[in-house]
Structure 1
């Protein structure tokens, strides 16, 4: 009877510490999902489709909101999400070019640039958008100035493409239209593991469009 009472007391203690119910054991060696993990898994919509709320512009030019899209003009400048920074995450967004010469990029993990768009270039990483057969040799999917993509997966001019950028620790995986096109590991101590995200308005002749911008923080 004493052994049974001891077991009952231990069960009651476990239930009390876990909020009234014992936690389920992981299945097949899987890691139990905590409340914090679930909260981190919630996607955050960065662009509401109607305004530039939460965003700031650094440098010349900018972006206009047209029909639920962000449309670049002028440059070279940077539209950056100034509301908060992110560490590890999955960033999803759709983009399309209006001419084969259009140039743009997605910037990751850079500090507050103030009014200087070059902070994102020098302190973060740019994921290139450029399918121009001439001009800059660094094409779509490049981690700019660091690593070229190992395959191409862009759609024709005027078609929407989707980037899925998975950033964990020092590793950057670049998916374009559900195809892994680059897998880069940073070794540069000047670039941190937390920062802002941003979009480039590259030059007056480029008109690049973005929509459906979501980020899902990841908890390690």
Structure 2
């Protein structure tokens, strides 16, 4: 064996990885989406320019849905490839979600008609945790589309969870409390197969947009969000 040639090859491979690493996600500038004081930069879905419902409020530095009927809260800005970090806490028996690539158009009456969802849930008490297939409706999952890569990553209701969502070059990764919970293509045959086997089969706008708003879902239950920041990739 030519060890000199092997060593040179390994060095070249390492250098290649280092060069590639320079182009990986994480080089953008972080943007704070919530300053802990007000809801500037957010609006109620399909009510751009209107005040958000007082049912969405601020509670000890967190966005707090006090009661249902407020409508989903969405960012004013749209995002394509990005890295999002957000902390959430759900009430006992609660359900909510972090929805991305939401296309805001009156033909779509709800954010989830276009945007895929990272599930926010009380796994112990909400029935959704036992519905779907193989846990694909539990907290941290890609809702109704993919079972968790790492099950059981969520903390109990009333405790803060740290979520991370990365969308880059047609691929997505979801993390909850430092554990990967989902990994998938955002378009193409793999994505189409997942959709065809889900409740979203036949929905004309679902998952069709590569850019869109980020939404915090009003599912009728109390939920809190804080430390929200994003960087475009």
| 1:32–1:67 distance in 2 versus 1, CA, 3 Å | closer
So what's the TM-score if we normalise by structure 2?
Answer: 0.70
Q: Does 1:109 align with 2:101?
A: yes
Show the counterpart of 1:208: 223
Q: Does 1:199 align with 2:186?
A: no
Structure index of larger Rg? 1
- Any gaps of 5 or more consecutive residues in structure 1? 1-26
Show the counterpart of 2:171: 171
Shift, 1:33, TM fit: 5.9
C-alpha distance in 2 between matches for 1:88 and 1:117: 24
So what's the TM-score if we normalise by structure 1?
Answer: 0.74
The 5 A counterparts of 1:1-220 are: 28-29=15-16, 30=19, 41-58=28-45, 62-72=55-65, 73-75=67-69, 77-82=71-76, 84-99=77-92, 101-113=93-105, 118=110, 120-130=111-121, 131-136=123-128, 137=131, 138-150=137-149, 151-186=151-186, 187-188=191-192, 190=205, 191-203=208-220, 206-218=221-233
In the TM superposition, what whole-angstrom CA distance separates every residue of 1:180-212 from its partner, at most 9, and x where no partner exists? Answer: 011122334942211110101111xx1110000
In 1, are the aligned partners of 2:91 and 2:223 still within 8 Å (CA)?
Answer: yes
SS in 2 for 1:108: strand
Shift, 1:77, TM fit: 2.2
C-alpha distance in 1 between matches for 2:158 and 2:40: 27
Shift, 1:133, TM fit: 3.8
Aligned length in residues: 184
In 2, are the aligned partners of 1:44 and 1:216 still within 8 Å (CA)?
Answer: yes
| Runs of 4+, deviation exceeding 4 Å | 31-34, 59-62, 113-117
Shift, 1:168, TM fit: 1.5
- Any gaps of 5 or more consecutive residues in structure 2? 1-13, 47-51, 132-136, 193-203
Show the counterpart of 1:6: none
Shift, 1:76, TM fit: 6.9
